[in-house]
């Protein structure tokens, strides 16, 4: 057994023990005071039976040629050589481009992939497809589809809400009250894209509490805040109504900072007419909100007064905008914070995403990180990322997005690398039908995920620990070398090797590689990066030998402090240069589902709607505590969280008793879109009439040939609605869905999610 150099993952830096080509144990680096348990998923991951051993092609595609097929996900595969795969794939890409144009290729490749700057899967595939002549691409993310559109419109930025958020140390020292809509779940602070080497959130909140700070968590789940807090458990999806009631209190009790609103904001007067009910006759009072959210008017009044009397940060979790009309929660949270007048003051103001990942609250680095150049995409056709099924099912159909009227292209080839849409996407039966419409699906993956099983051409990729790379993130001071820990599994190759071979066959090999090997690219990217820095860094050789490099960071940030200090010199990137509580631009789009100011819209999937009469439980499909998304679902930490091998569904004791359920039972969770099995955990930390089933269990249909089959493993996306947040952002709405739960009788079907499909020799 050999000790390996330190390496980096999305959930932490670690030292590993290696034996027989696999990770046998991991230990977090000593400086990480609150390491993530997700590191426990790494041992055994490099040689797991779910690894893809070699190139494979779906039998039906190989025998019959490219074309629509209802057999994706159920067909057997044929093992082919690398040369044959390269020839088949290159010829198919050329056919699609020649017959249908580059717009007919959708370069999906959405997901976290693995840590690494050079071997970053999306960077590699996008560079390749751009050099091929371009591809239809996607904008924004499943996590932040609504925020990515609304916040640039109203506060002039999106990334800075996370990258340059108020620092944890500032909160610990100056904040009196954190009002957390959607909670502040520390489980999510385990991870950061590109890698993370420290987890400071828990310690900062402990210091905050020791100083007398208070947290109010507004969430259906009590453990969305770890430790002491005031837990308010409203009906899910009613946060905007609660915010409006708090704003109404501020307005009617003269607690609004009108000087701040006049100097730093536009449009408050238009919003206040709606708030006070001057036009619709419905004041958004605590009494009005109580009927919607289930919290008492007295509770809302008391909270509003406490917020006005304290140095307060209003935080909105990412989960609140993953719902129909998801644009409204962050917009209304920002408006509420503006009414308090504390934006830009140390310890006050607004936060978006604390407890959503290990980025908000951390100091940003003063420099960018090395990046693989991708070039320009000659194709300008795009979709909002969560509209992939709509695009595949409705080519030529027009749709609204962010003030534009766009048209879905006619996609013939889906090319995916570095992600698993069966984790991210909603209404999986519909998604499977959408995948069946195209000519060819190509997937690069180290594992036989559901997406790989639905591919026509399967490219076996290496993991991050079987290749040399370096990585870091924009809010972590450590830039780390990532030397390979083990040899590539079986016939797997890194994506650079695959694309270099494809590019060579397609006639642009020299352009793609620029004559460089993997090692030469690492040297080149490092030198190019170092040449643009305003501080000294060691040579690549010294950096690689040392294993890490500490980068300078900007400590002590307060979000929008510079704007508050001088709103002219630091005007926002909005039309007015100020915070747009009312947006003339958005109002001018004429959308009925997103007007010029934040407002309450009644969702379809909520406990007070007609749909709840048939499906009376509100399911929260949140991020798992046992893995990052669906990554390494095969690992020990993820597996230990399951019940009878299935994802755990948490349910309130009263709701469990009503259904005759006990801990450890297997239940069927269902609605009119689909069904799945899950294992029961009875927990009074879940509000009544609510159940919680995390995302990320690998999709496992009982009958792979039936797109409507029950998922026996517990993937909630067989239940969720595939509808955009609104005409403005068309973001993902997969966090909330109404369901019914019943005890499963008989012998539960076996879980085969991590088993490879049938693979035949050529």
Rounded Cα distance, 526 and 95, in Å:
37
Annotated catalytic residue: which of 11, 61, 106, 112?
A: 112
Rounded Cα distance, 144 and 149, in Å:
9
What is the 3 state secondary structure string of 186-238? Answer: HHHHHCCCCCCCCCCHHHHHHHHHHCCCEEEEECCEHHHCCCCCEEECCCCCC
Q: What are phi and psi of 85, to 5 degrees?
A: -60, -45
Rounded Cα distance, 52 and 56, in Å:
9
| 61 is known as an active-site residue | no
Under a CB-based contact definition with an 8 Å cutoff, are residues 19 and 1 in contact? yes
The DSSP line for 522-584 is: HHHHHHHHHHT-SS----HHHHHHH-EEEPPB--S--TTHHHHH-TTTT--SSTTSSEESS-H
Q: Which tokens sit at 239?
A: 């946060």
Annotated catalytic residue: which of 11, 61, 106, 110?
A: 110
Rg of the chain's alpha carbons, rounded to an integer? 25
Tell me which DSSP letter residue 635 carries.
S
HSE-up of 49 (CA within 13 Å, CB side)? 7
| 112 is known as an active-site residue | yes
Q: Which tokens sit at 81?
A: 């050589």
For the beta carbon of residue 663, count every other beta carbon within 10 angstroms.
Answer: 12
Q: What are the CA-CA distances from residue 478 to residues 30, 168, 195, 548 (Å)?
A: 14, 18, 9, 6
Under a CB-based contact definition with an 8 Å cutoff, are residues 329 and 239 in contact? yes
Rounded Cα distance, 528 and 466, in Å:
25
Backbone angle region of 659, left / alpha / beta, with phi > 0 → left and psi within -120 to 50 → alpha: alpha
Rounded Cα distance, 451 and 427, in Å:
15
Rounded Cα distance, 287 and 283, in Å:
9
Q: What are phi and psi of 751, to 5 degrees?
A: -90, 120
Residues marked as catalytic: 110, 112
């Amino acid at each position: 057994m050999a000790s390996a150099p330190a390496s980096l993952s999305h959930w932490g830096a670690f030292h590993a023990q290696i034996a027989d080509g696999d990770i046998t144990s991991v230990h977090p680096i000593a400086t990480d005071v609150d390491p993530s348990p997700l590191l426990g998923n790494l041992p055994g991951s490099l040689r797991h039976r779910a690894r893809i051993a070699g190139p494979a092609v779906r039998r039906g595609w190989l025998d019959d040629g490219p074309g629509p097929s209802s057999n994706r996900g159920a067909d057997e595969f044929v093992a082919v050589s690398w040369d044959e795969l390269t020839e088949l794939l290159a010829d198919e890409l050329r056919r699609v481009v020649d017959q249908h144009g580059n717009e007919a290729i959708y370069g999906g490749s959405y997901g976290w992939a693995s840590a690494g700057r050079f071997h970053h899967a999306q960077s590699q595939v996008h560079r390749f497809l751009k050099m091929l002549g371009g591809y239809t691409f996607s904008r924004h993310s499943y996590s932040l589809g609504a925020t990515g559109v609304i916040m640039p419109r109203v506060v002039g930025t999106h990334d800075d809400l996370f990258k340059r958020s108020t620092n944890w140390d500032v909160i610990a020292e100056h904040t009196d009250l954190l009002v957390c809509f959607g909670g502040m779940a520390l489980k999510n602070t385990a991870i950061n894209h590109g890698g993370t080497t420290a987890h400071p959130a828990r310690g900062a909140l402990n210091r905050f509490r020791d100083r007398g700070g208070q947290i109010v968590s507004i969430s259906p789940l009590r453990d969305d805040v770890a430790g002491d807090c005031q837990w308010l458990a409203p009906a899910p999806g009613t946060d905007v109504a609660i915010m409006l009631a708090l704003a109404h209190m501020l307005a009617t009790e003269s607690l609004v900072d009108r000087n701040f609103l006049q100097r730093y904001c536009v449009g408050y007067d238009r919003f206040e007419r709606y708030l006070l009910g001057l036009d619709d006759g419905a004041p958004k009072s605590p009494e009005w909100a109580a009927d919607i959210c289930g919290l008492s008017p007295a509770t809302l009044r008391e909270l509003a007064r406490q917020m006005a009397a304290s140095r307060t940060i209003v935080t909105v979790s990412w989960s609140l905008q993953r719902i129909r009309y998801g644009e409204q929660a962050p917009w209304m949270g920002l408006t509420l914070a503006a009414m308090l007048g504390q934006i830009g003051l140390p310890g006050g103001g607004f936060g978006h995403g604390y407890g959503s990942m290990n980025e908000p609250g951390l100091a940003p680095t003063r420099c960018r990180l090395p990046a693989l150049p991708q070039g320009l995409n000659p194709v300008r056709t795009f979709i909002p990322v969560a509209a992939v099924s709509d695009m595949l099912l409705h080519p030529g159909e027009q749709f609204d997005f962010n003030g534009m009227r766009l048209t879905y292209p006619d996609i013939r080839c889906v090319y995916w690398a570095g992600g698993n849409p069966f984790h991210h996407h909603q209404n999986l039966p519909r998604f499977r039908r959408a995948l069946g419409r195209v000519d060819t699906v190509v997937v690069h993956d180290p594992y036989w995920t559901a997406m790989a099983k639905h591919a026509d051409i399967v490219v076996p990729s290496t993991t991050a620990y079987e290749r040399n790379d370096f990585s870091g993130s924009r809010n972590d001071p450590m830039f780390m070398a990532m030397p390979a820990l083990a040899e590539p599994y079986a016939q797997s190759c890194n994506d650079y090797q695959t694309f270099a071979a494809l590019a060579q066959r397609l006639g642009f090999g020299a352009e793609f590689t620029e004559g460089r090997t993997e090692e030469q690219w690492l040297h080149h990217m490092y030198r190019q990066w170092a040449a643009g820095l305003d501080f000294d860094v060691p040579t690549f050789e010294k950096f690689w030998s040392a294993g890490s490099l500490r980068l300078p960071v900007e400590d002590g940030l307060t979000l929008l402090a510079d704007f508050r200090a001088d709103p002219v010199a630091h005007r926002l990137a909005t039309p007015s240069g100020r915070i747009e509580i009312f947006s003339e631009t958005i109002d001018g789009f004429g959308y009925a589902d997103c007007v010029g100011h934040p407002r309450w819209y009644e969702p379809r999937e909520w406990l007070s709607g007609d749909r709840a009469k048939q499906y009376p439980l509100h399911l929260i499909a949140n991020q798992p505590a046992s893995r990052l998304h669906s990554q390494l679902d095969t690992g020990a930490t993820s597996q230990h969280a399951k019940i009878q091998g299935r994802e755990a569904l948490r349910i309130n004791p009263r709701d469990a008793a009503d259904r005759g359920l006990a801990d450890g039972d297997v239940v069927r969770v269902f609605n009119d879109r689909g069904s799945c099995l899950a294992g029961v955990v009875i927990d009074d930390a879940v509000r009544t009439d609510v159940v919680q089933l995390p995302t990320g269990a690998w999709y496992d249909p009982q009958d792979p040939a039936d797109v409507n089959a029950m998922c026996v493993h517990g993937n909630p996306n067989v239940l969720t609605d595939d509808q955009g947040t609104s005409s403005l952002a068309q973001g993902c709405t997969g966090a909330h869905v109404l369901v019914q739960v019943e005890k499963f009788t008989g012998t539960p079907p076996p879980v085969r999610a991590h088993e490879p499909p049938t693979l035949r020799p050529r």
